[in-house]
Structures are given as structure tokens and as C-alpha cells.
Structure 1
Amino acid sequence: MNNPILIGQAEEIDLLQPQVRAMLGKEGVYIGGDTKNPDLLVPLVSQGGRVFCLAIDHELAPDRFLSTLTLHGPYVPQPPATSGDHLELLEKAHAAIDGLFAQLIITDPNFRPSKSKYWPDMVAISNAVKQARGEA
């Protein structure tokens, strides 16, 4: 009887397809399909390292996906769109603080806005304006 001895480092083999592994790592709603059956669409939810069908009451075994799987997504909720009034208010707040900084610089030439305790607030408002405009 011949018993071969394996020498070396054991290598772990991931039996899941890379796209399924990625889906398990990023929560959201996906739409699965099949390259052999283009009309097939299966809504999937990845949550907590598990995969569920749309009803979210049937867990799917990640290792059961066929190699012909196509995967789209994830589709995750987005924050609600900013209203025009909110954007206008943010822009006015930004302009007001910017104007106050300008007055302080005129009054005290040594004043540096980026060194003031209010600078993080100015940056936060600036970022909020960019996000509201869809620039962030």
C-alpha cells in the first residue's frame, strides 16, 4: 500500500465564486441571473454575511450558485435628495461664515480661518453644500 506524504504549506481553497464572496462581504440588494438563461432574474439580499431571496425568509447556501451565475448590484438605499430650499440655506450659511472670516481677516491681518476653532464647522458646511449639489 502506497501512502504518499505531502510536504509543504496547505492552501485553503475558496469554493465560492469570487462574485458570490464579494456579495457576502457587501450588504445590499442584488439581482442574480444566469448566462445560460438570460431571462432569469433572481432578487437577492446580502445581509450579515448571508444571502436571502427577496422574501428574506429563505436563506440561500452561497456554495449552491452555478458557475453560470451573473450578478448585478448591490443596490442599497441612498439618502433622500436634498431639496432646493435646503441647498439654498446651506449656501447662505457658507457665504455668511465666509463673510465673517473675511471681516476678521480685515480687522486682524494675523487671523487665520484654518486655525480657528470654527474651521471644522466651515469645512462641514462646505462638504454639505458639495453633497447637496451632487459634487461629493
Structure 2
Amino acid sequence: MINSIEIYIDGACQPNPGSGGIGIYVKGYGIEESFSIPLNGTVTNNIAEYQALIFALQLIKRKYLKSEKINIFSDSNLVCMHFNDQWKCKDKKLIPLLQTAKDISLEFRKKIILSYIPREENSIADSLAKDGIKK
């Protein structure tokens, strides 16, 4: 059984709105993997951040459900506050993305912890997200 994993997520676009990418970095208990994925169409930075969260939740569902503890870290305060029900999401483009993330998380027996971290502590996922834009 995998004891604990940490998943660092980031979304980016260039310009804003523009081409987007997401970066996911997973580490913990002998695991280390990363994902750099381009997003289709024109996106905003907030949409890219939500897409990163959704990808991470889908990844947990596919690979890491047996983990005892799962922590997701994001440098998007907006996404963290929405997901943790501390701010109401009013943006009509973000509401369906938040709902998708919430719906996926409800499938897990254990609570997923999404925490805000400063940008400088999320440099790997940030770099992966920027690489995703270039793909």
C-alpha cells in the first residue's frame, strides 16, 4: 500500500487568454512522476488551473486510491478557496469545472486535501505547465 503522496499542480497560458498547458508532479513513498499536457483551444489561466486539478483527481482515481493520505498543492488561491468552499464561485466559465472537480472527489472514501502554496514552492509543476503550452 502507498502510504502518502503529494501532488503539485499548475496551469498556465500564454497570453491570458491564450494557449494553455498543465503540469502535474507526483511524489511520495517511492513514487516520482510528472505530466506536461497541452490544453485544447484558448483558455484563461484560471481555466488551466482548474484543468490541472481535474487531471490530478482523475489520476488519483486511476492510480492512487489505495494511498492512505493524499495532498494536492496548488499556487492558485482561487482554485483552493473555491474547492474548499471558502469562496463562492461566481464565474460562469469556472462553475462547471469546479463541479467536475467536486464530483470526482466525492467518489473517494477519504477526503482530498487541496492546499495553497506560494508560487516558488511549486516550481516543478509550473515548469511542466509552461512546457505543456509549447507542445
Range of TM-score over shorter length: under 0.3
**Could you say which structure has the higher strand fraction?**
2
* CA radius of gyration, larger in: 1
Q: Which has the higher contact order (CA 8 A, sep 6+)?
A: 2
Give the TM-score normalised by the residue count of structure 1: 0.24
Output the TM-score relative to the length of structure 2: 0.24
